[in-house]
Amino acid sequence: MVFPFSSVEDFRIELSEEHELFRKSVRDFVESKVMPKWREIEESNRIPREILNEMAEMGFFGVGIPEDYGGQGGGQLMTAILTEEISRAVPALAVTLGVNHLFAIPILLFGSEDQKKRYVEPIAQGKARGAHANTEPSGGSDVAGIQTRAKKVNDHYVLTGRKVFISGAGDADFLVVSARTSEPLEGKRWWGITVFVVEKDTPGLKIGQQFKVMGMRGEQPYEVVLDEVKVSPDSIVGPVDEGFKVIMATYDHTRIGIAAQAVGIAQAMFEKALNYSLQRETFGQPIISHQMITGKIADMYMKLEAARLLTYWAATLADKGKREFIVAASLAKAYATEAAEWIARQTIQIHGGYGVDFETGIERYLRDAIITTIYEGTSEIQRLTIVRQLVRQAFGMKI
C-alpha cells in the first residue's frame, strides 16, 4: 500500500559515489575550519569572514543552483547533504547558506532571465548575499495576511511596511520582499500580493534592530523597514498579484533545508551522547550499561535515521520534479526538527551538569533545534500542509 503515492518507486532515495565524495569533502572542511570556531561564533554572534570566503572558494554557495547561473548544480539532495554536515558543527552557518536559497529559489522558479543573471549568479559565486523578507509583526505563517504595501505610482512602485525576523538581512546585498499590490478577491485571500527584488542601497530601505532570539547565534534575524522604497517593474518576481504562489513554492523547496539542519543537529547530539555514555562511569560501570541510558541511545538513533531518510527522500522527490515532494518536505521538516529537539534534550540529560555548561558546546544545539521547529513554517503549519496535500492528492479536494 503506497497511498497517497502512486508507486513504491516514489520511495526510492538515489545516492551515488559523487554524493559521498562531496559529503567527505564538506566534513573535512567543517572539522578543520568550522568546528574550532564554534565558541567564537557563539560569543561574538558573527560568522568569521574567513569561513565565508573559504566556503565561496569551495563553491558551497553555488550548490543547488544551476551551472547556467554560476552554481555547482547538485539539486536538493546535494544541498541537504551540505546543510546537514555544516549544521553538525554550527547550525547558524547553515542558515547563512539557507537564506541565500530563500532569495535565489523564487527567482530561479519565477524570475526573468535578466534577474537570474543579475542576482542569482553573484549569490552562487559567493560574491553577494541574499535575504528573504516576508514575515511581519502581524504574522509569518499566514502569508496572505501581510500588510506591507506596494503602490503603483506612474512608472514605478513604492513599498511601505515593516518586516521582522529576517535572517541574513544585516549582510544582504539583495532582498526579495513581499507586498500587497491589490486588495484580496472574495474567496481568495491570497490574491493581490506581489514579490519584488530590492537592492540594499535603495533609498528608504533600512535594516533595523537585530532580534536576540534564543538560538542560531552567528546568524540571528533582523527587522527590515521599508519607508517609501521606490522600485521599478523590472524588480517584480513572477506575476503581479500572484506573489503568494511565489512565496509558497519557495517554502516548499527550502523547508527541506531546515529538515537537513535538524538532521545535522541530531547527528552531532547523538555522537556526543554515545561517546559520553561510553566514557562516563557511575557505580563502577559505564552509564551505557544502565538500561535507562541504553533505551535513550536506541531511541535517539532510531529518530536520527528516520529523520535523515525522510529528508533525503523529500530531496530526491524534489530533484525528480515530483509534485508529491511537497507533502514529503513537510513530513521531513516536522519530524526532523522535533526529533532534533528531543535528541538534544536527551543528550543534555545524559551529560547532566556538563550538558548545560556553555563550555561543553552542548546546550547550544538545543537552542538551535528549537528554532528549527519554528521558522519556515512551524510544526503546526507543517501538519496542516500534510493533511491539505494528502486530501488534495488522494481526493482532489481543498480544505
Q: pLDDT tens-digit profile of 116-161?
A: 999 999 999 999 999 999 999 987 778 999 999 999 999 999 999 9
Q: Rounded to 10 degrees, what is the CA torsion of 352, 353, 355, 358?
A: 180
**Tell me, what's the pLDDT at 101?**
96
Dihedral sign from CA coordinates of 268, 274, 278, 283: positive
| Chain CA centroid to CA 243, Å | 20
Alpha-carbon distances, residue 165 vs 219, 230, 365 (angstroms): 11, 23, 20
Within a 10 A sphere around the Cβ of 190, how many other Cβ atoms? 17
Task: Determine what percent of the chain falls in helix, strand and coil, rounding each to the nearest 5.
Answer: 60, 15, 25
The CATH 1.10.540.10 portion of the chain extends over 8-129
Catalytic residue IDs = 376
pLDDT value, residue 399:
75
**Residue 1 pLDDT:** 52
369 phi/psi in degrees, rounded to 5: -60, -40
Three-state DSSP class for 146? coil
pLDDT band at 169 (very low <50, low <70, confident <90, very high): very high
Instruction: Return contacts of 394-398, CB within 8 angstroms, 24+ apart.
Output: 394/3, 394/4
Query: Residues of CATH 2.40.110.10 domain(s) within the chain?
Result: 132-240
Residue 394 is predicted with a pLDDT of: 73
Within the chain, all domains assigned CATH 1.20.140.10 are found at 245-395
Q: Is 4 exposed, middle or buried (0-12, 13-18, 19+ CB in 10 A)?
A: middle
Domain 245-395 has CATH 1.20.140.10: yes
pLDDT of residue 6: 79
Cβ–Cβ contacts within 10 Å for residue 225, how many?
17
Rounded to 5 degrees, what are φ and ψ at 388? -60, -45
Residue 45, C-alpha cell as written in the block? 554572534
The amino acid occupying position 340 is A
- With CA atoms as reference, report the closest residue to 130 among 91, 169, 85, 162: 169
Q: Which CATH superfamily is domain 8-129 in?
A: Acyl-CoA dehydrogenase/oxidase, N-terminal domain (1.10.540.10)
β-strands 236-237, 149-153: how paired? unpaired
Domain covering 132-240 assigned CATH 3.40.50.1370 in the classification: no
Count of CB atoms within 10 A of residue 28's CB?
11
